[in-house]
């Protein structure tokens, strides 16, 4: 009788072990989601996207036969690239990991043996083509890569590079701009552009995936690239959605025959951490020029004769928290000569007084205390918020240097100034903190750039414990604000934006602190007054976890 319970226990143990083994196979078994292209030519670079490939190289199987190891270009846990062999008509491709686990199969076929529709000679002749990217693996944000190929053309407003910003996308849709970071041929990231060669710095926000070129003649082939994460990376966290509205009202007393008014309203920032959609509720007919940072609304005497006009906008903003994992011992110096695209963020400008003697002296003191770049970033914030008292009436950073007091705007700009004096690229950010209830609190913070990681948002005020009244929540550990921001930061403007030149005699007005523009209204020959509403929330935020 005693043997039966023992037998039952043994059976249960075996079933438990079998179930555990099945679960482990389900979790760790390699899985293929896409091959791109699925019909390559011999020796073309082919990308395999999926999961659980392992960090140590295994084998690529073509109908069960391993591909030679030297043909494999990149091997990572979710991305493999290889040269298409020249002896394959068609085959089922599988991944066998170093542990011996084998994936599902996906089909591949030699393009030269697949019937294709005829292509006009002209299209083939002028279509851009990428033959190689050097290097194409182990890339670092901010570092230079070289594309070699044909028919890239000369630098042109219609010519751009596109980098994947969605990791391991299984289907490459080159028409969907949401999947890519666009770098125009005239961008400072591009250091060389000719018909057969492009040299470009890897932009912040790029993920493992692809690069391609688009010109007025069409799009090139896609070329696989993969990044090194040794210095660290920025991860998106929880997300929130906000619906905001703002308005500008004009009261007109008199208008000259050639009188006019231009209103420049900021467009909230679109970035990896923030997406924006805008609806113009009122004033669409007055819409003028625009950029990535602002919308212009123009009024002539015919519009202004009504004596009272209004612009009303509504926008939906989705914000993700951002946290940077930084390998502080692996931070690389910019070197004796900084890359061209970072040069504007290392010198004084209309907002950031990094050349002031007090700022240079503070940077020298910090540099003596610590040589580590990340710790210098923290010391810069501590110097500013320890040596200057918060004063709501002083927003100019140079005035704050003289008086030793300033508001959050002035102190955030001084923090950027110290970082630039330390040779750490930085840029100020203006926007809002989402406060208690439905309140929005005008606020300022910044971003700094680290090679290999990119632009990292941080909030020096919150990091040093200077939380504004009405703001609660956010990161439980305030030190996290030295390397990230929460999903309650809404970015309205990043850095200084010069607006279009105006006609002589025009009156310029800067009345909107959260725009960081040099002017927000320009009037000529008009007697009027204006009222800008602070952007307000129309509904509470809906917090949703980021997958």
- Of 3.10.50.30, 3.30.70.1560, 1.10.490.10, 2.60.40.10, the CATH number of 31-113 is 2.60.40.10
In the predicted structure, residue 75 carries a pLDDT above the cut 50: yes
Question: Poorest-confidence range of 10-14, 43-47, 356-360, 447-451?
Answer: 10-14
Q: How confident is the model at residue 170 (pLDDT cuts 50, 70, 90)?
A: very low
d(CA 176, CA 11): 54
CA distance 313 to 470: 25
**DSSP assignment, residue 40?**
P
Distance CA(193)–CA(214), nearest Å, equals: 13
d(CA 457, CA 475): 14
Residue 83: pLDDT band (50, 70, 90) is confident
CA–CA separation, 172 and 453 (whole Å): 24
Taking Cα atoms as reference points, which of 177, 190, 281 lies closest to residue 533?
281
Q: How far is CA 351 from the centre of its chain?
A: 23
Cα separation, 467 vs 486, whole angstroms: 13
**Cα(312)–Cα(3) distance, integer angstroms:** 82
Residue 204 has pLDDT above 90, yes or no: yes
Token readout for 415 is: 């923090």
> Is there a contact between 46 and 81 (Cβ–Cβ < 8 Å)?
yes
Contact 196, 132 (CB under 8 A): no
If you average pLDDT over residues 344-354, what whole number do you get?
95
Tokens matching residue 279: 């609806």
* Contact (Cβ atoms closer than 8 angstroms) between residue 150 and residue 198: no
Mean pLDDT over 174-186 rounds to 84
Please, which pLDDT band fits residue 464 given cuts at 50, 70 and 90?
very high
H/E segment holding residue 261: strand 232-266
What's the average model confidence in pLDDT over 339-362?
96
Say which residue, 368 or 44, is predicted with more confidence: 368
Is the pLDDT assigned to residue 382 strictly greater than 90?
yes
- For 243-262, how does the pLDDT look when each residue is reduced to its tens digit (9 = 90+)? 999 999 999 998 999 999 99
User: What is the token pair recorded at 10?
Assistant: 């043994």
pLDDT category of residue 66 using cuts at 50, 70 and 90: very high
pLDDT given for residue 5 in this prediction:
56
The pLDDT, as a whole number, for residue 91 is: 86
**How high does pLDDT run on average in the chain?**
87
pLDDT tens digits for 394-419? 889 999 999 999 999 999 999 999 99
Is residue 321 scored above 50 in pLDDT?
yes
Higher pLDDT, 260 or 511: 260
Helix axes 408-421, 373-387, angle to 10 degrees: 140
Please give the pLDDT value at position 391: 85
Confidence class for position 22, pLDDT limits 50, 70, 90: very low
Structure-token pair, residue 421: 């004096």
pLDDT confidence of 27, banded at 50, 70, 90? Answer: low
pLDDT band at 543; cut points 50, 70, 90 = very low
**Sorting pLDDT into bands at 50, 70 and 90, what band is 6?**
low
Measure the CA–CA gap between 291 and 499, rounded to whole angstroms: 10
**Percent share of the chain, pLDDT over 70:** 89
Instruction: Give the pLDDT confidence score for residue 424 in this predicted structure.
Output: 97
pLDDT class for 377, splitting at 50, 70, 90? very high
- Token digits of residue 115: 């019937």
CB 289 within 8 A of CB 500: yes
Q: How far apart are CA 437 and CA 481, in angstroms?
A: 23
pLDDT confidence tier of residue 4, bands split at 50, 70 and 90 = low
- Predicted pLDDT at 546: 39
**Average of per-residue pLDDT across 507-522:** 85
Strands 405-406 and 389-390: parallel
- Enumerate the H helices of 90-139 as residue ranges: 121-126
User: May I ask the CATH architecture of the domain 324-494?
Assistant: Roll (3.10)
More confident residue, 214 or 178: 214
pLDDT recorded at residue 13: 53
**Is the pLDDT higher at 18 or at 305?**
305
SS3 298: strand
What residues form DSSP beta bridges with 34?
49
State residue 15's pLDDT score. 46
CATH superfamily ID and name for 121-228: Immunoglobulins (2.60.40.10)
């Amino acid at each position: 009788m005693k043997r039966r319970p023992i037998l039952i226990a043994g059976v249960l143990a075996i079933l438990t072990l079998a179930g555990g083994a099945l679960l482990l196979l389900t979790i760790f078994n390699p899985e293929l989601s896409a091959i791109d292209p699925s019909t390559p030519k011999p020796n073309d670079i082919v990308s395999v996207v999926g999961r659980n490939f392992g960090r140590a190289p295994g084998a690529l199987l073509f109908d069960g036969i391993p591909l030679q190891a030297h043909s494999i270009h990149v091997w990572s846990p979710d991305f493999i690239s290889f040269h298409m062999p020249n002896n394959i008509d068609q085959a089922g491709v599988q991944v066998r990991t170093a542990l011996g686990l084998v994936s599902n199969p996906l089909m591949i076929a030699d393009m030269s043996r697949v019937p294709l529709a005829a292509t006009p000679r002209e299209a083939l002749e002028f279509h851009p083509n990428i033959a190689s990217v050097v290097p194409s693996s182990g890339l670092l944000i901010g570092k230079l890569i070289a594309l070699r190929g044909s028919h890239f053309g000369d630098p042109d407003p219609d010519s751009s590079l596109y980098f994947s910003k969605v990791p391991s996308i299984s289907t490459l849709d080159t028409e969907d701009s949401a999947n890519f970071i666009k770098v125009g041929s005239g961008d400072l990231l591009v250091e060389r552009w000719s018909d057969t060669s492009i040299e470009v710095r890897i932009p912040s926000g790029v993920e493992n995936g692809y690069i391609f070129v688009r010109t007025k003649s069409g799009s090139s082939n896609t070329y696989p690239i993969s990044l090194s994460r040794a210095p660290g990376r920025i991860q998106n966290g929880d997300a929130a959605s906000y619906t905001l509205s703002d308005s500008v009202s004009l009261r007109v007393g008199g208008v000259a025959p050639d009188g006019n008014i231009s209103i420049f309203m900021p467009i909230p920032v679109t970035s990896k951490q923030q997406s924006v959609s805008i609806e113009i509720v009122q004033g669409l007919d007055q819409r003028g020029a625009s950029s990535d940072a602002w919308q212009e609304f123009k009024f002539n005497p015919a519009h202004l004769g009504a004596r009272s006009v209004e612009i009303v906008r509504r926008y939906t903003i989705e914000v993700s928290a951002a946290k940077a994992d930084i390998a502080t011992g692996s931070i690389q110096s910019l070197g004796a000569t900084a890359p061209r695209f970072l040069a504007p963020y290392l010198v004084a400008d209309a907002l950031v007084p990094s050349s002031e003697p007090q700022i240079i002296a503070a940077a020298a003191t910090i540099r003596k205390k610590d040589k580590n770049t990340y710790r210098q970033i923290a010391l810069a914030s501590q110097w500013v918020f320890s040596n200057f008292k918060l004063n709501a009436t002083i927003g100019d950073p140079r005035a704050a240097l003289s008086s030793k007091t300033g508001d959050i705007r002035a102190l955030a700009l001084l923090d950027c100034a110290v970082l630039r004096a330390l040779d750490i690229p930085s840029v100020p950010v203006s926007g809002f903190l989402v406060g208690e209830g439905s309140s929005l609190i005008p606020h300022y913070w910044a971003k700094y750039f680290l090679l290999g990681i990119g632009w990292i948002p941080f909030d020096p005020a919150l990091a040093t414990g200077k939380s504004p009244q009405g703001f609660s929540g956010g990161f439980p550990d305030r030190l996290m604000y030295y390397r990230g921001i929460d999903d309650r930061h809404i970015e309205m403007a990043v850095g200084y934006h010069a607006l279009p030149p105006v006609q002589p005699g025009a009156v310029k007005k800067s009345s909107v602190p959260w725009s960081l523009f040099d002017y927000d209204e320009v009037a000529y020959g008009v007697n009027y007054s204006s009222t800008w509403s602070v952007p307000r929330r129309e509904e509470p935020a809906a917090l949703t976890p980021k997958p």
